[in-house]
């Protein structure tokens, strides 16, 4: 157990404006809250600006980025700087541990999982994604294939679930999802043309600038010409979409 914190976390560089573009979606929040069961005390690992922290539980947050911590609202749970791989808490300190769209940024997810197991009295809830499905997402396949080559996309979801000892649940993305993660705009492609929205998604920062510019320019052209709609409009569902987002739950 250590209080060590990284000197220059990723989100200290890319996290500006994150809180405004990444508003937690109530339907996803309900899934996470239900998965936490009857836990009264919860540790939120890689907590960022506080998305998906249940307001009716006693939550403590851990986040390595000072910039992200600065964007937490005044009524958010108490938070400290720290990393998943070395959580500054005693064994069995919490009823449950949660993590939301953060594990792919950890330097060693196995070490992070061991720490989560150490500090919880039982329950673990991880909201993450399946990198194999990310590769199949239309934005990645057709416009920005470099996203699939990012080191942060290179983990095996089944291996993570096995290490946690939890089951995998599908989390469909609503068509009007309020949380601007990578596939949030699966039916609203024009949203990807907004630099502010792209800036709040780490995957875009993994793409070389010239490739990002070229891919987004092609997307803009295809939207304007109606080509995107011709290719995808009829094939996408109306209400929600399985874009590969998952809950891993250990009861």
| pLDDT tens digit sequence for 142-170 | 999 999 987 665 689 999 999 999 999 99
The predicted model gives 80-104 an average pLDDT of: 96
Across the chain, mean pLDDT equals 91
In a domain? residue 125:
yes
In a domain? residue 5:
no
List own/partner pairs for 1-6 with CB under 8 A and 24 or more apart. 1/86, 1/87, 1/88, 1/89, 1/90, 2/86, 2/88, 3/82, 3/86, 3/88, 4/83, 4/86, 5/64, 5/81, 5/82, 5/83, 6/64, 6/83
In a domain? residue 86:
yes
Tens of pLDDT, residue by residue over 2-44, are 344 443 455 544 445 566 677 899 999 999 999 999 999 999 9
Those residues with Cβ within 8 angstroms of residue 159's Cβ, 6 or more apart along the chain or in another chain? none
CATH classification at residue 113: 3.40.50.150
Tens of pLDDT, residue by residue over 201-233, are 989 988 999 999 999 999 999 999 999 999 999
In a domain? residue 241:
yes
Q: Which residue has the higher pLDDT, 248 or 12?
A: 248
Domain of 27, in residue numbers:
10-250
Say what the pLDDT of residue 28 is. Answer: 98
Q: Which pair of tokens denotes residue 248?
A: 């891993």
Say what the pLDDT of residue 3 is. Answer: 40
The CA-atom distances, in angstroms, between 162 and each of 26, 157, 238 are: 28, 9, 33
Report which of 61, 40, 49, 52 is spatially closest to residue 14, judged by C-alpha positions: 49
Say what the pLDDT of residue 155 is. Answer: 86
Domain count, the chain: 1
């Amino acid at each position: 157990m250590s209080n060590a914190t990284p000197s220059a976390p990723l989100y200290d560089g890319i996290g500006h404006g994150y809180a405004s573009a990444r508003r937690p979606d109530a339907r996803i929040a309900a899934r996470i809250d239900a998965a936490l069961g009857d836990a009264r005390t919860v540790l939120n690992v890689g907590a960022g600006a506080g998305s998906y922290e249940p307001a009716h539980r006693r939550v403590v947050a851990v986040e390595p980025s000072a910039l992200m911590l600065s964007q937490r609202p005044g009524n958010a749970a108490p938070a400290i700087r720290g990393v998943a791989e070395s959580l500054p808490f005693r064994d069995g300190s919490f009823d449950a541990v949660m993590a939301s769209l953060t594990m792919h940024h950890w330097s060693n997810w196995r070490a992070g999982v061991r720490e989560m197991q150490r500090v919880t009295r039982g329950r673990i809830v991880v909201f993450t994604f399946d990198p194999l499905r990310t590769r199949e997402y239309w934005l990645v396949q057709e416009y920005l294939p470099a996203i699939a080559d990012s080191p942060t996309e290179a983990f095996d979801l089944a291996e993570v679930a096995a290490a946690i000892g939890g089951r995998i649940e599908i989390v469909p993305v609503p068509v009007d999802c309020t949380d601007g993660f990578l596939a949030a705009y699966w039916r609203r492609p024009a949203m990807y043309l907004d630099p502010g929205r792209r800036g709040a998604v780490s995957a875009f920062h993994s793409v070389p600038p010239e490739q990002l510019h070229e891919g987004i320019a092609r997307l803009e052209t295809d939207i304007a010409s109606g080509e995107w709609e011709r290719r995808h409009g009829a094939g996408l569902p109306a209400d929600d979409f399985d874009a590969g987002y998952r809950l891993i739950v250990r009861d």
